[in-house]
Amino acid sequence: MPSLRYVFTVILGCALATWLSRVVPFIILKKFRLPNLLLEFLNFVPIVIMSSLWFESLFTQRQGQLPLINLGNFLASIPTIAAAIISKSLLVTVLIGVLSLAILNIFFGIN
């Protein structure tokens, strides 16, 4: 691991980058109204971001070739979806998800 000084430079630089992307839209949009088309676009942001972060985790990237399936995450997603539908609870869904992958790892050697 690099020196304490370098790690802290990285921490501060990344903090500035993420802070700006969180705060600048709030400052700019206080003065302006968003057009309707953009509002319609923003309606889709939650489901699109959530599903893309999930789907990305189901594969292992090999740039230039079709991605490999991440079998552990793929299989663990099935009981996790069932838990979400049955319980409608985030906590139960996360616990079942973690438990599913742990069982796949420990008993079947899949990860």
Q: Which of residues 42-61 bind other proteins (CB under 8 A)?
A: 42-57, 59, 61
Kindly state the smallest distance separating residue 69's Cβ from other proteins, in Å.
Answer: 10
Characterise 65 by phi-psi region: left (phi > 0), alpha (psi -120 to 50), beta (else). beta
According to the binding rule CB under 8 A, does residue 108 interact with other proteins?
Answer: no
Q: Judge residue 57's burial from the number of C-beta atoms within 10 Å of its C-beta, 0-12 exposed, 13-18 middle, 19 or more buried.
A: middle
Rounded-to-integer distance, Cα 59 and Cα 53, Å: 11
Q: Which of residues 6-45 bind other proteins (CB under 8 A)?
A: 6-19, 21-27, 29-30, 34, 37, 39-45
Select the residue interacting with other proteins from 35, 76, 107, 110 (CB under 8 A): 76
